[in-house]
Amino acid sequence: MATSPVTTNSLSSSSSSLFSASLPSLLPRRRVPLPLALRRRHGTPAIRAKIREIFMPALSSTMTEGKIVSWVKAEGDRLSKGESVVVVESDKADMDVETFYDGILAAIVVPEGQSAPVGAPIGLLAESEDEVPLAKAQALSQSQPQTPPSPPPPSEATPPPSPPPATAPPTPVAAAAAAAPPVQEGPRKTIATPFAKKLAKQHKVDLAKVAGTGPYGRITSTDIEAAAGIQPKKPAAAPAAPAPAASITAAATATAKGSAAAAPSPLPGSTVVPFTTMRAAVSKNMLESLSVPTFRVGYPVMTDALEALYEKIKSKGVTMTVLLAKAAAMALAQHPVVNASCKDGKSFGFNSNINIAVAVAIDGGLITPVLQDADKLDLYLLSQQWKELVKKAHAKQLSPNEYNSGTFTLSNLGMFGVDRFDAILPPGQGAIMAVGASKPTVVADKDGFFSVKSKMLVNVTADHRIIYGADLAAFLRTFSKTVENPEGLTL
């Protein structure tokens, strides 16, 4: 399983140079002094506890949060530098995370199954057993602020009303409720929403006798309905309230939108499943792809010669996917613009390496292991690497460089019998090739004679900001020739 060192932050006077190099400004060091009681007991005013925070590490460039799969160590266990502490699920893989320091795992801040943003503390590491109680107290104080923030406002808002009942403040509140008519007679102007005025006119309700419950005493439609004694309709009006923005549109549209927004309940018998970290990452990437202007080009490729070669060398561990990846890499070497990428919308770069990312379906998502330098390595070495990558992908043990360094992506659904399909362009790449199944097809040669040959359809989706139709057509023609004359793939 891939490993990554835990990022920790020293809370003592001795700080870590390793941490300074990895997260200089994101997570500042803090010094935590011992309680006054301990200072007095030891008689030294400057004793400081050495407690380090274990932070959620960034396991990839696209990772924004991680999920705790399991804690390898339990609270109270003594740790040694370089020892695995926790298993973290990133957006594409599960990784063992190691510690930089010796110490005792004093407290677990984020338990198993929960997520935390990159840089957030997930545990506390104490230097000795004397600091364990203080670390536990600190962990408790860190978890408390997250819950109390919401209760304090109500509690602070409640005290003011209770002390003033004997003073003047409650008088306006009570007068507004009990003696509403006199209070509203003072301003001589009734504030009501347009819809409330319309309802009041329909139901013959005197606005001067209605106490408004809206902001600054404004009379709303619910106040009019209550005054008219239309109680059953009050709950029906409440669902429409959550969609005030829809009031700009027609009443029917607003009602439809309000009911749709207020109906998150699943269908009978259905189950709502939250996104895993991997599915969330895939979803994010797909949304990013929508901002790229793409176009698609299809091309027929005859595969009789490629299938004959495959029958000869498949016993040596070569797969059809590797053959196609090698053919694509050789074609990309002659058409480098298809291997280029545009990331900022203002410029594009030619990649010096041809790294073929191949889409692989795994349990719970999709990942793209990368065949590095596919144009330079021989077919058998590529096959060996591909076998190892697929094994690591299914075990969720790929390192970031093994799945996010692709310059061109290949997606092969032909093995499932799919004739043709379009693939979505991955962010940061110039093109992706979708390969369909190879099937017997009746074709006519230049002399008019008919024959049956194996043919597959490939569709390429490309970034139109850097790749044009002529570029893609030339690349596909080269790819087709390479597949139809595959002797060069084994060289």
Pick from 385, 351, 353, 352: nearest CA to 369: 385
The pLDDT, as a whole number, for residue 4 is: 54
Q: Catalytic: which of 42, 203, 335, 464? A: 464
Angstrom distance (rounded) from CA 106 to CA 131: 8
> What burial class does residue 46 get, using C-beta atoms within 10 Å of its C-beta: 0-12 exposed, 13-18 middle, 19+ buried?
exposed
The pLDDT, as a whole number, for residue 380 is: 92
Cα distance from N-terminal residue to C-terminal residue, the chain:
34
* Range list for CATH 3.30.559.10 in the chain: 293-490
What would the 3-class secondary structure string for 162-176 be? CCHHHCCCHHHHHHH
Look up tokens 């994101």; give the residue: 26
Known catalytic membership, residue 464: yes
For Cα atoms 352, 456, 461, give the angle at the middle one, nearest 5 degrees: 45
| CA torsion through residues 201, 204, 208, 213, sign | negative
Distant-in-sequence, close-in-space partners of 90: CB < 8 Å, separation ≥ 6: 59, 60, 63, 66, 277, 400
Q: Concatenated DSSP letters for 295-327?
A: EEEEEEEE-HHHHHHHHHHGGGT--HHHHHHHH
| Cross-strand pairs, 5 | 98
3-state secondary structure of 391: helix
Pick from 441, 162, 476: nearest CA to 298: 476
Look up tokens 């926790």; give the residue: 86
Pick from 406, 395, 404: nearest CA to 96: 395
The pLDDT, as a whole number, for residue 309 is: 94
Angstrom distance (rounded) from CA 166 to CA 187: 26
Q: Concatenated DSSP letters for 116-136?
A: EETT-EEEEEESSGGGHHHHH
3-state secondary structure of 387: helix
Cα separation values, 189 from 181, 192, 202, 219, 249, Å: 12, 10, 20, 12, 29
The pLDDT, as a whole number, for residue 231 is: 58
* Range list for CATH 2.40.50.100 in the chain: 3-143
Pick from 129, 64, 61, 57: nearest CA to 86: 57
The pLDDT, as a whole number, for residue 290 is: 87
Pairing of strands 84-89, 65-71: antiparallel
Cβ-contact 367, 276 below 8 angstroms:
no
Burial 300-329, CB ≥16 within 10 A → b, else e: ebbbeebeebbeebeeeebbbbbbbbbbbb
Which superfamily does 293-490 belong to?
Chloramphenicol acetyltransferase-like domain (3.30.559.10)
Which superfamily does 191-234 belong to?
E3-binding domain (4.10.320.10)
* Range list for CATH 4.10.320.10 in the chain: 191-234
Cβ-contact 409, 429 below 8 angstroms:
yes
Angstrom distance (rounded) from CA 459 to CA 481: 16
For Cα atoms 399, 403, 405, give the angle at the middle one, nearest 5 degrees: 110
CA 292 to chain centre: 19
Q: Concatenated DSSP letters for 22-42?
A: H-TTTS-----BPPHHHHHHH
pLDDT in tens, the chain (491 residues): 555 555 444 444 333 333 333 333 333 333 333 333 333 344 444 445 578 888 888 777 667 788 888 888 888 888 888 888 888 887 667 778 888 888 888 788 888 888 888 888 888 888 887 778 887 787 777 665 444 444 555 444 445 555 544 444 444 444 333 444 444 444 445 677 777 787 788 778 888 888 888 776 778 878 888 887 775 444 444 444 444 433 433 444 444 444 444 546 677 888 888 887 778 888 888 888 888 999 999 999 999 999 999 999 999 999 999 999 999 999 999 999 999 999 888 899 999 999 999 999 888 788 999 999 999 999 999 999 999 999 998 888 888 889 889 999 999 999 899 999 999 999 889 999 999 999 999 988 888 899 999 999 999 999 999 999 999 999 999 999 999 999 889 87
The pLDDT, as a whole number, for residue 61 is: 66
Angstrom distance (rounded) from CA 165 to CA 78: 58
CATH of segment(s) 3-143: 2.40.50.100
3-state secondary structure of 281: helix
